[in-house]
Amino acid sequence: MYTLAVDSSTSLSSVVVLENSTVRAQLIQTVHTTHSDCLMPAIETVLQCAGIDREELDQLVVCRGPGSFSGLRIGIAAMNGLAMALKVPL
């Protein structure tokens, strides 16, 4: 089971791909602009590093707070969009 997890609640953006409970790939970066500029490219980078396609994801996880309202909103909206497009649970 592959899980994509995102945390955009602070100025550190975290994107992780897990296979069951094992970390396959992760990217933690400082966001100098907004999460909207770097979140989707970070997701693509982590998926490439993990060697999987988006269609192989079984579930998505996103941090719901506490944290920056804008950062949380961007992360939740991005993951909602992916969940709907991929038809996987969030």
Q: Give the pLDDT of residue 8.
A: 95
On the question of pLDDT at 32 being above 90, the answer is no
Q: Give the pLDDT of residue 24.
A: 97
Q: Is 71 helix (H, G, I), strand (E, B) or coil?
A: helix
pLDDT in tens, 34-65: 888 899 999 999 999 999 999 999 999 999 99
CATH class of 2-86: alpha beta
Question: Where do the domains of the chain lie?
Answer: 2-86
What sign has the CA pseudo-torsion 43, 44, 45, 48?
Answer: positive
Q: Give the pLDDT of residue 35.
A: 87
Q: Give the pLDDT of residue 33.
A: 84
Q: Are 77 and 19 in contact (CB under 8 A)?
A: no
Please give the average per-residue pLDDT across 11-16, as a whole number: 95
Number of Cβ atoms within 10 Å of the Cβ of 26: 14
Q: Give the pLDDT of residue 57.
A: 98
Q: Give the pLDDT of residue 80.
A: 97
DSSP states of 25-36: EEEEEE-SS-HH
Q: Give the pLDDT of residue 17.
A: 98
